[in-house]
Homo-oligomer: A and B are copies of this chain.
Amino acid sequence: MDSTTILHAVDSVFDSELEFLTELVRHPSTRGDEQSAQDFVASELSDRGYELDRWQIDINDISEMPGFSPVIGDYENAVNVVGSLRSRTRSGLSLILNGHIDVVPTGPLDMWDRAPFDSCIDGDWMYGRGAGDMKAGLASNLFALEALKHLGLRPAADVFFQSVVEEECTGNGALACLQRGYRADAALIPEPFAEKLVSSQVGVIWFQVHLKGLPTHVAYAGSGANAIEAATLLFEALHRLERRMNATERRHHDYADHSHALNLNIGKIAGGDWASSVPAWCIFDVRMGVFPGQNLDDVRHMIEETIFDAARNHSFLARNCPEVVYNGFAAEGYSFKDDQSAAARAALAALDRAHSLVVGKPLEHEAITATTDARFFGLYADTPALVYGPRAEAIHGFNERVDLESVRRITQSTALFIADWCGLEEA
């Protein structure tokens, strides 16, 4: 099949792709509320003849697997959707096309120029929470296959279209796909990293720090007995740890020139009940990055040591030792670059060919400072995982948006990559 024909086929289905994406962004799939979006995806897959698998994640099934992240709360609404497209000939290499359906909270609505889930196209961009991260990727995965179908073709190997939950807090959605038995010769995850291949990704640990102690009427407020102000001391100590962890000699080689790859973020805080009561409690949520290859237990140890050391020198905290609670990401770093397997090299070469044909330039690589679900495939299933997706802006921010021409190009590259990696057969 001539590659130009495939590129044109993507153009032919691109309006439908934008319709699909517009509708998908309108489903406000924040954590715990992914059902309507998954319903929509499942129905689109069924209509197109995919073999549908839809299941609720049971923590008991995955909690002993490597890569599992602890979660507080239940998984009543954590439902994965996988559509399988089976090949008759199975002459090529199989492929997982993965994307996550969950999106992060919107933050204050008045910071958005329009309602975050009221997706709309303005010029070259589609706006909306999740438009970039990563519903455009889900759309690209589906419509790369649609483009081939438009030509009367389909992959000559099994392809699994995965729409998973929990990417933004644990990765347990992707992990549950492994537990369910989904395997392939490679995985592609179109996370929005501006048409570059993610060569490495950091790991992420989430933890909460709980402070609690004896309060009093503010009339008797003494220095040091305020749980909210005690928290700020720990912020400083944690930022000192962050600086140490980013030190040149500690860096993974793919981050050698990155002066601050590991970000520590104080992301959320709540404390106190009453302006005139000295606050007895404060809870804050932290996200910390780690390099590929770093042992998470070692990092947890450093975090706890940092907090407890700082606490020992503080009048309030010394008497009321902080508690560290891990509730969310326990994600190791992953370096695709370090995977020297023949499969990884072959997958990279195929993607490079596809990208170069579409963009006219070789594929650039980037070591990113975030995590993705790629680690599950790469670290725990011996499956090279290519993270390669469109250009987006303000992901996790306000007025999140995705560049639609980059979505078109990613869809084209993906269709070419499928044709190359899986081969094609008649639909």
Contact = CB atoms under 8 A, between A and B. Distances in A.
Interface of A: 104-108, 111, 133, 168-169, 204, 206, 212, 214-221, 226, 228-229, 232, 235, 263, 265-282, 284-287, 328-329, 368-370, 394-398
Contacts of A218: 263, 265, 267, 287, 370, 396
Contacts of A226: 265-266
A267 B263 contact: no
Contacts of A284: 228
A294 to B, nearest CB: 17
B280 A107 contact: yes
A107 B281 contact: yes
A216 B105 CA distance: 12
A279 B263 contact: no
Contacts of A108: 212, 280-281
A276 B168 contact: yes
Contacts of A286: 275
Contacts of A263: 218-219, 221
A228 B216 CA distance: 24
7 contacts: A104-B273, A104-B277, A228-B284, A267-B274, A268-B273, A270-B270, A277-B396
A215 B397 contact: yes
Contacts of A232: 232, 235
A278 B370 CA distance: 13
Nearest to A285: B275
A278 B228 contact: no
A229 B269 CA distance: 10
Nearest 8 pairs of A and B residues by beta carbon = A268-B272, A219-B370, A105-B273, A267-B275, A217-B396, A275-B285, A219-B369, A218-B265
A374 to B, nearest CB: 14
A186 to B, nearest CB: 24
B104 A280 contact: no
A276 B206 contact: yes
B280 A398 contact: yes
Contact of A265 (B111, B206, B221, B398): B221
Contacts of A398: 214-215, 280
A228 B371 CA distance: 23
Contact of A275 (B228, B268, B270): B268
Contacts of A107: 215, 273, 277, 280-281
A104 B397 contact: no
Contacts of A169: 275-276
Given A229-B266, A269-B270, A396 B287 contact: no
Contacts of A282: 269
Contacts of A268: 228, 271-275, 279
A277 B272 contact: no
Contacts of A281: 107-108
A286 B397 CA distance: 28
A265 B395 CA distance: 36
Contacts of A228: 266-269, 284
Contact of A278 (B106, B221, B267, B270): B267
A363 to B, nearest CB: 20
B369 A220 contact: yes
A216 B107 CA distance: 11
A266 B280 contact: no
Contact of A396 (B133, B215, B328): B215
Among A228, A282, A286, A395: residue with most chain B CB under 10 A: A228
